[in-house]
Amino acid sequence: MTNFQSDALVFFGATGDLAYKKIFPSLQAMVKRGHLNVPVVGVAKAGWNLDQLRARAKDSLEKHGGLDATAFEKLVGLLRYVDGDYQDPSTFSALRQELKDAKRPAHYLAIPPVLFETVVQRLAESNCGSGARVIVEKPFGHDLASAQELNKVLLGAFGEADIFRIDHYLGKRAVNNVLAFRFANAFAEAFWNRNYIESVEITMAEDFGVQGRGGFYDQTGTIRDVVQNHLFQVLSNLAMEPPVRSDSDSIRDEKVKVLRAVATIEEKDLVRGQFRGYRDENGVAKDSQTETFAAVKLEINSWRWKGVPFYIRAGKCLPTTCTEIVAKFRKPPSLIPDSLLVGNHLRLRLSPEITIAMGMMSLAPNAEGLALQTGEMMASHSPRADEMDAYERVLGSAMDGDSTLFAREDYVEEAWRIVEPVLKKNTPVYQYAPQTWGPAEIDRVTPPGGWSNPGEKKAFAVASEAA
């Protein structure tokens, strides 16, 4: 890892939707915290000038971040702008002039992946890439071959230590809280293994549809959009071994080991669904076979997890918006009849709030004989208004040269290895009604005892046995 602070931030796609909704609010927040005091150069082909970019930034903050007059004034003073075609070498000559004395810029490619190769090559040719870092947005390819080709392009101009592949999900505090729970609490290690855990579920539910992004989504689907990247990152945090050191490569080594231990997905372990009405969305093919829902069963062939199935479920137009992990414990070898026991569980909610809950059984109040009830011991935290946003965190880390929150080349390729074979097969896509938990066919990819649906409290009857 090259340890230095970037002395400029260049972001390509400065007039785009991502910049408008996410990047400008994050830049203002970085300025407000004192984490950004270097030139910020926007690059785009829009026929704009600097004043228009500043106006766009102000409008962005008023609608998406909340305008802070003092921080915005400082941000405006840092902003620069280069307008031009990414194919045109003169655009990059103008960028080199705008960078002035900057020797260690960070180039953030907030642009469609089809433009990555062109921009990276132009950066190298113009000497803008010398001593620099490059930050690229997901998706990192659409299959293994394209991911390998993208890595080849990036590594042709930058060293791996200077390549930062953004999966903004890793910037979320709640996702990293999984590691804190596991490795900062001595009691967790005692039960976090195949001896005590029967199965693990990861659910990412959204109660909305494609929100006008039908054209993009129909070329992507749920597996490529969130499973292969976001939810595999959650899986890695759950299943990895403690790193031998706290540096970024030691942490990422353990994450890669998790994916290496996962077999490629077989057809029998995947159910794809599509909500009714999806094909009526603008940009979606009338005969689309793109999934808006996926349920997957995975096995991790490691000493810690062999024999414990991991279930991943994600979808749109589900009953709620929530991301949650539920680990179900094996039932104890108890003197209490098995029919009276409901398995314990650990529940980690990542959004919309952070929750750690332990499900357990106790005697029911006013019980006669052995009457048991279920309950949860819970710690919960709702995000505060001043908490660092995911993009603020990952951009700051990239400029600091800290790679911990970024996907490494081998990790990306292992993730594609797991999903690619089944993506290439013509597996069926089943219809499901909006605001339900997916198609009925999900029964064949279901954890023991059924899925734990976020927001639903199971109505366990109090079980009892006469004394």
Alpha-carbon gap, residue 281 to 374, rounded angstroms: 43
For this structure, is 230 an active site residue?
Answer: yes
Alpha-carbon gap, residue 26 to 32, rounded angstroms: 10
CA angle 166, 170, 174 (to 5 degrees): 155
3-state secondary structure of 289: coil
Of 308, 406, 358, 350, the C-alpha closest to 204 is 350
Strands (E), 235-292: 270-275
Q: Which two tokens stand for residue 251?
A: 């942490």
Alpha-carbon gap, residue 330 to 263, rounded angstroms: 24
Of 432, 163, 205, 437, the C-alpha closest to 322 is 205
Of 166, 82, 64, the C-alpha closest to 399 is 166
Residue 160 DSSP symbol: G
Q: CB atoms < 10 A from the CB of 214, how many?
A: 20
Strands (E), 54-121: 79-83, 105-109
Bridge partners (DSSP) listed for residue 165: 136, 407
DSSP secondary structure string for all residues of 421-446: HHHTS---EEEE-TTSSS-GGGGGS-
Q: Which of 107, 168, 230, 345 is catalytic?
A: 230
In this structure, are residues 402 and 381 in contact, taking their beta carbons and an 8 Å threshold?
Answer: no
Burial of 29 per CB tally in 10 Å (0-12, 13-18, 19+): buried
Bridge partners (DSSP) listed for residue 125: none
Of 239, 230, 232, the C-alpha closest to 178 is 239
As annotated, the active-site residues are: 230
